[in-house]
Amino acid sequence: MVNFIRAASLLALVPFISAAPTTADALEVRAETELFSFEKWAEDIMANPGGNHLSPDEAVALAFNQTSNDEHTIQKRASCNIVAGSPASAADAVWCIDFIAARANVKCEAAVSGTSFCRRGLAQITGVSGGFNPPRSTSTLCGNVARSAGAIMDQCTRNGQVYGTTAAWGNGNLAVHIRHP
């Protein structure tokens, strides 16, 4: 009798099991809900520089059509405090990220007074050393600067403008800034 009840219970579950989504279905749903990320875009360029990547203009268009600008989203590391007159053009900043990411394995060195890694139109990506002992400069790979600038774009872009700062990947003593030149 107990075996009959177990068998009947298992047979009752068959319609539910067959109606459950497959792994491929779950992956499709996940891919549809994944938002575009400038940080991920920069990482992809660094991983495969000659690959088929979105152009800076395509990346901006996709991000602005897809990414939520909800100000209540969780902020990981970037500080987005906008100083009057300092927001940069998001499109120009994305061009700079592409430029810097293409030089992923080159050293980007920053001085205490600040070093411009890229300037285009109404955007500039700079690095500032937080070192207090000589030689008063610090560096990281330019790929880390691009990834950090991508994180700023993801967290601090509003209405086609961006302003923010974050510690560089790979070296917390180097602050990466996106701002108006």
Long-range contacts at 28-31 (CB < 8 A, ≥ 24 apart) = none
Looking at residue 118, what is its pLDDT? Answer: 97
Any residues with CB less than 8 A from the CB of 160 and at least 6 apart, and which? 64, 89, 90, 91
Looking at residue 178, what is its pLDDT? Answer: 95
Looking at residue 35, what is its pLDDT? Answer: 73
Taking the C-alpha atoms of residue 176 and residue 181, their distance in angstroms, rounded to an integer, is 14
Mean pLDDT split into 10-residue runs, the chain, 181 residues: 52 49 42 68 85 84 60 56 81 96 92 92 93 73 94 91 90 90 92
Taking the C-alpha atoms of residue 110 and residue 131, their distance in angstroms, rounded to an integer, is 10
Quote the pTM value.
0.65
Q: Which residue has the tokens 């403008």?
A: 161
For the beta sheet containing 161-162, the strands, ordered from the edge strand earlier in sequence to the opposite edge, are 88-89, 161-162, 157-158
Write down the domain spans for the chain. 38-69+76-179
Looking at residue 61, what is its pLDDT? Answer: 77
